Amino acid sequence: IDAAVNTIKAPKATDKEKRHAGKVFHEMDGNQFYEKFMENSEECKKNIHDYVTFYLQTHKIVEISKPKKEFKVSDSIEDFNILDFV
């Protein structure tokens, strides 16, 4: 958090520092500390917004999903098993 705060206030920051600050503030979104920084000054608010946007643009979100189970309906009632569908 300390490094992210220093980056927000720094006149020049590297892309790595901006990405880290963006990640930190993105994860803090909604808590009181985040709100205080957003109220602090227009420059801080703009930098936080810019760095969070920069982080989200460079951060790839990977969604993992289960493969869909294929359902086969039995031709006769004797072959039906409810556990095949659970």
Kindly report, residue by residue over 1-55, the tens digit of the pLDDT. Answer: 889 989 988 888 999 999 999 999 999 988 888 888 888 888 888 999 999 999 9
CA distance 62 to 65: 10
Residue 78 is assigned to a structural domain of this protein: no
pLDDT band at 75 (very low <50, low <70, confident <90, very high): confident
Of 42 and 68, which is predicted with more confidence? 42
Label residue 82 by pLDDT band (50, 70, 90): confident
Our count of domains for the chain comes to 1
Residue 36: predicted pLDDT = 84
Q: Domain range spanning residue 49? A: 2-58
- The residue whose two tokens read 């009181």 is 32
Q: Residue 33 domain-assigned?
A: yes
pTM of the model: 0.64
48: in domain: yes
Q: Tell me, yes or no, whether 11 lies in a domain.
A: yes
Half-sphere exposure of 3 (CA within 13 A, CB side): 11
Assess if residue 80 is contained within a domain: no
